[in-house]
Structures are given as C-alpha cells and as structure tokens.
Structure 1
Amino acid sequence: MPVTDCAVTTRKSLLTEENFARVVVGFVTVGFIAIVVAAAAAGWAQWRNQQYLEAIDHTRTVESRISDFSTLIERAETARRGYLVRGAFNHRQAYEEAVAPQRPLLDEIAALTADNAAQQRRVAETRALLAEQLAFQQQTITLIDQGRFDEAIAQFRNDPSITLTRQLRERAAAMLGEEGRLLGERNAAQTRAADTLFALAALAGILLLIVAAAAVTAIRRYTTDLATSRSALRALNENLEDAVEERTVDLQRANDEIQRFAYIVSHDLRSPLVNVMGFTAELDTARQQITRYFDEASANDPELAKSDAAIAAHEDLPEAIGFIRSSTQKMDRLINAILQLSRQGRRTLAPEPIDMNAMVLGIADMLQHRTSEAGAEIRIEGKLPAIETDRLAIEQIFQNLIENAVKYLKPGRAGVVTVRGRRDGKRLLYEVEDNGRGIDPRDHERVFDLFRRSGQQDQPGEGIGLAHVRALAYRLGGLISCESELDRGALFRLSLPPKFQAGEGVSQ
C-alpha cells in the first residue's frame, strides 16, 4: 500500500473519534435513563405487590378467626349435650372452655372486618343469634347443676338450639364465602401486579440489550477502523527504511488521539451527569417541601398521614432519590478516574535520581494513621537499590501497591507489608509483599484491568489503582506481575530499568 494512502486512511479513521464519542455518550445516557425508569417502575410495582400481600394475609387471618368461631359453636353445643346425657364434670368444663372465647373472638372478627359493611351486618346477626343460643344453653347447664335432670331434658327438647346452631353455621359460612371472594380478588390483583413487574423488567432488559448491542456495534466498528489504521502504519515499514520515522510519528499521533479520545469521552459524559445531579438536587428540594406540606397538613388531618401520597413523600421518594444520587456519584468517580489516567498518559516524564528507601519511608509515614488503625506494620527489607526515573510516577506506583496491601489485610491477623529490592541482571527488581487475604490465582491478570476488582468487595474503590500502576510501569519501561493465593497474602513484583530514557516505554 502506498505511504500516502496509508496516511489518508489513518487520518480518516482518527477523524471519526469525536463522532464515536458522541454516539457512546448517547448510548450511555439512554441506558442510564432506562435503568432509572425501570428502577422507579419496579419500586412502584413492588410497593403495590406488598400491599396486595398484606391484604391477602389479612383475609386469611379473618378466615382463620371465622373457622375458629364456628368450631367453638359446635364444641359448646356438643359439650352441653354430653353434660345433659352423662352429667360428667369434664363435659361441663369443656362447655365453659368452648363458650369463654366466643364473644372475644366475634369482637376480633368485627374489628378485622370493620371496612366491610356486608361483613359487619353478618357479624351483628351472628352476635344476636349467639346471645340467644348462649341463653338457652345456660338454662340447660343451670338445671343440670341443680340436679333437675327431667326439667333440663324437657327444656332441651323444646329450645331452638339446633335451629340456632344451624343459623350460626350459615352465618359463618356466609362470612367465609365473602372472605373467599375477597381473597380471589386480591390474589388476582397480586398476579396482575407481578405480571406488571415482570413486564417492566422484561421491557427494561430488552431496551438495555438494544442499547448494549448498538454500543457494541459502534465500538467494534471503531475498533476495526483503528485496527485498519494500525495495519496501514505497519505497512509503512515493510520495505522502506526511511519510513520508520514517519511510522513513529503516526504512532505517536494515534496514541495522542487515543488519549484525547479518553478525555473527550470523559468530558462529554460529565455534561449529562452534571444535569442529572442538578435535577436530583432539585427533586430532593421539592421532596422536602412536599414532606413539610404533608407534615403540616397531617397536624390538622391525621388521616392524611396514612395516605399513599404521604407515604410516597416520606419513604418512596427519598429511597429513589438516594439511588439516583449514589449512582451519579459512582459515575462521577469513574469519570474522574478516566480523566486522571488521560492526564497521566499525556504528562511528560522527567527522570531524576531517587533514594528508594527515603521514598518508601515517606509513604509509610503518610499511611501511619491507617496502619495503626489496622494494627499493621510496613517494613523495608535491606537497602533498596536507587533508581533514576520519574519521581511522581514511581511514587504513585509504590503508594498504590502499599496502600492496597494495607487495605486488604486479613482481619484478626497482625498485618505485615514488606518492601524489598535487588538488581536482577541489567534491571532492578522491587517487590511489595503482604500477609493479607490474598488473590485468587484466576484473577492475577484480571486485577490489572481497568474497573476490575477481585475477591470480597468490602473496601471502597473503583478498580482503578492497579490498572494505573501497570500503565505507569509500562511508561517507565517496566513490567509488573502478581503472585498470590487465597488467605496467603500477595506479592507484587516490579521490574524497571535502572535509568529511564525517553522512548523505552513498554508497548501496551
């Protein structure tokens, strides 16, 4: 491929990055809005489902109390007859045990069905029938207690207890039927609420899949263009020795464009994020005003405090706003991290002689408060070899490694972080070792990826530190690796040239 054609292809590919950034920002914004809407809808559906569950539980409670009441009616009548026939004390006692809870149980049923006029009417009818039933039953019991069995039998034959018992049974059955009807309605409403929740989740999932598919397509297209431009740059060096310099220039331009692209993406992401954060603050202010309104209105109308709107103002809105705020804060931290990595990638490195022992001691002093709280100790093993490199970069590497070692110590175990170094052939080898919780061997490479973390997520962080460490090590012409097992600590090994020279950074 001619040199001019390769250069043109590269420039065209690089010129599309700004449009690509806008597309990515658009996809992220749509996806974020979809997540917020889906979360709000799911919260509403869950709240409605909880209401239906409470109503169903209430209905089942009423049914249980009605069944208990019906059983007590039957037991009282059976015990009276047994006492009449045998005159045994145990039947007399069984009668008293069956009669005693009848009125309190009926009162409880009345309280539970206070919002149902039909049930209240049936409860009133049942109360009247129960009073009449108890009066006839008590007459029989009193005659038997006095030894007047003939009169008791004659009274039993003439009283309407059988009819009253049947009527009480019918009232109980009617009340159970009404509760069964309510239970059916509430079960159907709960099913509809669950169907709505599943539908919303499915819709949100489909929308996110569409957004993800479109984003992946755009990224793959951009990656293909970038790969094409890199292939074109490689072709410049096939047969022409004088094309090496031009290829180097183009590669540097590509790297600069990648850094600029990261900056553009982060900057454009921040604009909609700032809007979301601002509107969230306005929503919270409006929510506080609404809450104050309901509090003031509730003082004059206590029933207003129990309304759905008041509950939403006091409970649902704060929860939803808190979710949005935590999500935007996390995105803000991620954007700041991307900007920091972009700035570090563009910073000009300035090598200088560095006393590594003094530098590590300074880092240990800076982390003294954290190590004291964790009961940990930072040790320097022997004399660390001096190096000539960029001070800020090497400080950031060791500070991240030592800080991570202190952060992920094993609870209940005295923490020790050891820093050592030696010359390894023409290079310098530094090691930072701890006796903490360790890293799963499957995650040794994964921990160096951007936004990736390993193990239990009980410490603050966004998965940026080790990715930043590796990027800095590459820029200094070094390599970094990890050796670790779970519960046996971790060892990070950093290999660097003794003297950094511009242009000897390791390719990423």
Structure 2
Amino acid sequence: MLQIDDRRFSRLALFGVIIGFGLLLTALVAVIMAFALNQRSNALVTHTYQVADQLAQLEIYVERSETSSRGYLLVPDPARTQTFRDNSSKIPAATARLARLTADNPRQRENLKRLMPILNTEIQTLKGVIRLAGSGKLDEARRIFAAEVAKKRVNAIRALSTAMRAEEERLLESRSKTVRNFTTILFIILSITAVLLLLFAVAVIVIVRRYTETLLTARNRLNVLNNDLEGAVQERTADLQRAKDEIQRFAYIVSHDLRSPLVNILGFTAELEETNKSLVALLDRAQKEAPQILTTDSLAARQDLPEAIGFIRSSTQKMDRLINAILKLSREGRRTLSPERLKMTDVVKGIVDSLEHRITETGTTVTVDKALPDIVSDRVAIEQIFSNLIENAIKYLQPGRPGQIAVRGFAKGDRLIFEVEDNGRGIDVKDHERVFDLFRRSGMQDQPGEGIGLAHVRALAYRLGGFIDLKSALGHGATFQVNLPATYADQGVRN
C-alpha cells in the first residue's frame, strides 16, 4: 500500500486546495454570468411586454373612439360623445409613452412615425364627423365616416399596429433564444464541474484514508509492543508523541485547507439554486404566455439543472460528513483522559436503558452480566466503546431471527476482558480486519453510517492501553472482545 508521509500529504493537500479553488472559480464565473444574463434578459423581456401592453392600450383607445363615434352616428346620444372624448384624449399620452418605450428600436420608430399622422388625422376626422352630426348634418357625417374612417385609416392603423406587435414578438424570440443557448452552456459547465468535484472528493477520501491507516497502523504497533516490553517505554513514548503531532497537523490541514473549499461550494450551490429559480420562473412565464418559443432543450434544462445542483450539494455534504468523522477521531485522540472507578454493570445497563426504544422496536433481548468486573478508566471512552458495540449489534440483526445480545466480562491477571455477543447476521472471516478500518464496512449496506464506528472503538481501546478482537462467521452472529487494563495508567504521553 502507498505510504503517505507528512510532506507528501501536505503537497497533496495543497494541490487539492488549488484544484478546489479552480473549480469554485469556474462555478463562480458561471453563476455571475448566469445572474447578469438573467437580469438583462428579464429586463428585456419586461420591456417587450411593456411595449406590447402599451400598443394594446393604444389600440383600445382608438377602437373605442371609432366605436363611440360610429354609435353616435347611428343613435345620436350625448353619452357616446363623452366616451369619444374620454378615449381620444388619452391617445396622445399613450402614443408618447409608446415612443419612449420604442426609442431604442429603429424599426419601431419608423412604424410609429408612420402611425402618428394617421392617428392624428383619424381623431380629427372623427371629431369633425361628430360636430357635423351634432349640427344636424347627420347624413353628411355618415358619408364622411364611411368614406374616410371605415375604409381607409382604420385598416392602416391596424396594419401598422400589427407590424409593431410582430417586431416585438421577433425581439422576444431572439432574446429567449439567447437565454436558452446560455442555459445549455451553463448546464454543461455545471455538469462538468460536478463531475470534477466528485472525482476531487473521491481522491481526497482515498488520500485521507491511506494517511489515517498509516497513523492507525503505527499506533497499533506501538500498543502491542507496550503490552509486555517495559524496556521499550521510552521509545514508545517518543513514537506516540510523533503520532500525536502527525494527528494534530493532519487535523489542522483537514479543518482549514479542506473545509474552506467545501463551505464555498455549499454557498455557491445555494446561489445557483436561487438563480435557477429565476430561470424556471422565466421559462414558466414563457410557457404560459408564448409556448411556441420554447424548445425541448429549454424544457429539459428546467429539469436537469436542479438535478445537477442537487448532485453538487449531496457530494459536498457527504465529503463534509467524512471530514467531520476524521476530525472527531483526531479530537478524541487529543482529549485528556480522566480515569475513575466505574461499576461496569451500572455503566452497561445505563447504555442499554438509553437504547430501550430501539431495543423494543426490533424485539431484541439484551442480557447484561450482573458480575461485570469494575474498572478504573475514562468514563466517556468506556461509554463510547460499549455504546458503539451494542448499537451495532442491534442494528445488524439477522432478518427473521429474534435478536439476542449478551454482555459479559471477567478478569485475567491485571487485565479485564469484556465480550459483546449477538446472534445477528455475522461478519465474513475475510472482513474481520477490514471492519476496523476507517470508512470501511462489511456485508449488505442497508443501514445508515459512514464506516467510522468500529475504527473509533479500536482507537479508543488503544488509547486506554487495550485492544479489541472479533470472532464471527457469516450468518452466525459476532462476538467483540475488548481487552483493557484493570487500572488505566498514563504512560507518559500528555495529550
């Protein structure tokens, strides 16, 4: 197996930080570009709808003016002349606002330039018709209306209005196409970034696991030598001190150099989610108001982009959990142990009581030996060791077989041996050593976990001056045997 020393690990960590920063920079640029284009596209689309709305409003005023004057010629009613005055008086303001809105478009300015004199002539003609009709010359007014209004200018006004609306629809299609194209490019960039982040996460996990295995192997060797070799105390103390320093440097690198990119990735992922909401809202509005402008690619992007963002988030969250697990192990290694006399029967029963809900839920029977030997050791470490072992026994029951768990213990010289036995699914012989490795699990993975429980148990046992063994066969339960000194003694390493 590839051995990773401090210098190599530091180089790899620095290289990983550079890669992570590059990926974050890529994602940041993509987000900024997407946000800028989204803002501009929203403004342009809003502008297009404003022009269309104002054009429709102008058409309404013209139609109402023409209709009210036509009605007055049919039935001279003063109320209709009031309707004409109300609507015709609004046409100049509506035309002026339409001119302001289309000032940036030469085509629309030309259309409006042709439309305005026709509108002015139309309104003046309608006013003249109404005045003639009001003075008693109804037949002459009707003749002028039929000759000049109904046949000529109304059609010209409608034709120019239609041309202006068509121009705005062309602009909307062009702008929507630009958004679709950029959305596709953004999706590709984010997908590639997600894949690279995943590969980066896998590489970091592999490097960290190998480095951790190197440290744990060193500590295992030192603890074995410490059992009976009093003459090697000084050498073991120096080795443990070096291992402690390595763990502290390792924890510093993980907590600072690796966690910072993760925080940034999670933050930018949230920004991507907010940007995606705006894009989805735009697509939803376009689908509702102009579905013909949407393509299959744009609809697919609305579904695929959230999935890509979720992929980035789940990958970084998993990496964060793994780093937290490593930090937990390193912090435990630095915690100051406080030995005290523990009544192991009471300690184990307290653990069982805390798991009563899970025990009842699974129909498991837990038996605790009433004569467990007392021990002088660190309470927190002891509780963590037996909590992990009993929890695992409850978690990995054999389906169809009522759970049976037994905790017993006995003294052997100046050491105490505790056993946690279950009748669960068991562990294959080839996996006996593997299950104690960090991030390694055995058998069917149908239970939650990151593969750190037994690694943590073994690290705690070593720290208390003991070790842990496993006896098991697949389908026939497992027995974990914890061998600890009856009285913990500080062996010269000040943590």
TM-score (norm 2): 0.55
- Separation in 2, partners of 1:305, 1:370: 53
1:301, CA displacement in angstroms?
2.1
SS in 2 for 1:419: strand
The match for 1:352 among 327, 340, 348 is 340
> What is aligned with 2:418?
430
Counterpart position of 1:398: 386
Candidates 448, 455, 458, aligned match of 1:470: 458
Alignment check: 8 A CA contact 1:478 1:495 kept: yes
Residue 22 of structure 1 corresponds to which residue in structure 2?
13
Q: 2:439 aligns with which of 451, 455, 467?
A: 451
SS at match of 2:333: helix
3-state SS in 2 of match to 1:261: helix
Residue 309 of structure 1, aligned match among 298, 305, 316: 298
Q: Could you tell me how far apart the structure 1 residues matched to 2:461 and 2:273 are?
A: 44
Secondary structure of the equivalent of 2:449? Answer: coil
Shift in Å at residue 27 of structure 1?
7.6
Match of 2:308 in 1: 320
When residues 419 and 503 of structure 1 are mapped into structure 2, their CA distance, relative to the original with a 3 A threshold, is same
| Partner deviation per Cα, 1:27-50 (whole Å, 9 max, x = no partner) | 8748988xx9xxxxxxxxxxxxxx
Percentage of pairs with the same residue? 52
**Residue 287 of structure 2 is aligned to residue 298 of structure 1:** yes
| Aligned 1:112-131 pairs, distance under 5 A | none
SS of the equivalent of 1:437 reads coil
1:480 to 449, 468, 473: 468
SS in 1 for 2:260: helix
> What are the superposed Cα offsets for residues 215-263 of structure 1, whole Å, 9 maximum, x if unpaired?
97xx89xx8xxx9xx9xxxxxxxxxx9x986x56643541232121221
In the alignment, the residues of structure 2 paired with residue 347 and residue 493 of structure 1 have an alpha-carbon distance, to the nearest angstrom, of 24
The answer on whether the counterparts of 1:421 and 1:429 sit within 8 Å (CA) in structure 2 is yes
Contact 2:251 2:330 in 1 (8 A): yes
Q: Which residue number corresponds to residue 417 of structure 1?
A: 405
Shift of 1:288: 1.7
Determine the structure 1 residue equivalent to 2:357.
Answer: 369
The amino acid that maps onto 1:282 is E
Supply the AA of the counterpart residue of 2:345: N
Q: Does 1:383 align with 2:371?
A: yes
- Secondary structure, aligned partner of 1:260: helix
The match for 2:239 is 251
Q: Is the 8 A contact 1:31 1:208 kept in 2?
A: no
Structure 1's 425 and 252: CA in aligned 2 closer, same or farther, altered over 3 A?
closer
Matched, 1:269 2:265: no
Task: Tell me the secondary structure at the aligned position of residue 407 of structure 2.
Answer: strand
User: 1:23 deviation in Å?
Assistant: 2.9
Paired position in structure 2 for 1:289: 278
Q: CA deviation at 1:415?
A: 1.2
Q: What is the alpha-carbon distance in structure 1 between the residues aligned to residue 416 and residue 15 of structure 2? A: 42
Q: Is the 8 A contact 1:259 1:342 kept in 2?
A: yes
Change (3 A) 1:334 1:418: same
After TM superposition, list the pairs within 5 Å mapping 1:120-269 onto structure 2.
250-267=238-255, 268-269=257-258
| Residue 488 to residue 297, structure 1, CA distance change in 2 (3 Å) | same
TM-score relative to the length of structure 1: 0.53
Contact 1:17-1:261 within 8 A present in 2 as well: no
Cα distance change of structure 1 residues 461 and 286 upon mapping to structure 2, 3 Å threshold: same
* Paired residues, number: 303
Superposition deviation, residue 382 in structure 1 = 3.6
Q: Distance in 2 between matches of 1:305 and 1:269?
A: 42
Structure-1 residue corresponding to 2:318: 330
SS at match of 1:309: helix
Structure 1 residues 12-161: aligned runs within 5 Å: 16=7, 19-20=10-11, 22-23=13-14, 25-26=16-17, 29=20
* 2:37 paired residue number: none
For 2:284 and 2:17, how far apart are their aligned partners in 1? 41
Structure 1 contact 21–264 (Cα < 8 Å) conserved? no
The DSSP-based 3-state class of the residue aligned with 2:447 is coil
Q: Distance in 1 between matches of 2:393 and 2:19?
A: 34
**CA distance in 2 between partners of 1:18 and 1:479 (Å):** 28
In the TM superposition, residue 373 of structure 1 has moved relative to its aligned partner by 1.9
| Closer, same or farther: CA 433–295 of 1 in aligned 2, 3 Å | same
Is the 1:304–1:310 contact (alpha carbons within 8 Å) kept by the matching residues of 2? no
Cα distance, 1:281 vs structure 2? 1.2
Aligned residue type for 1:340: K
Q: Which runs of 5+ in 1 are unaligned?
A: 1-12, 37-196, 231-240
**2:136 maps to what in 1?**
none
Q: Distance in 2 between matches of 1:28 and 1:256?
A: 29
Q: Which residue of 2 aligns with 1:117?
A: none
Query: For 2:396, which of 404, 408, 415 is the aligned residue?
Result: 408
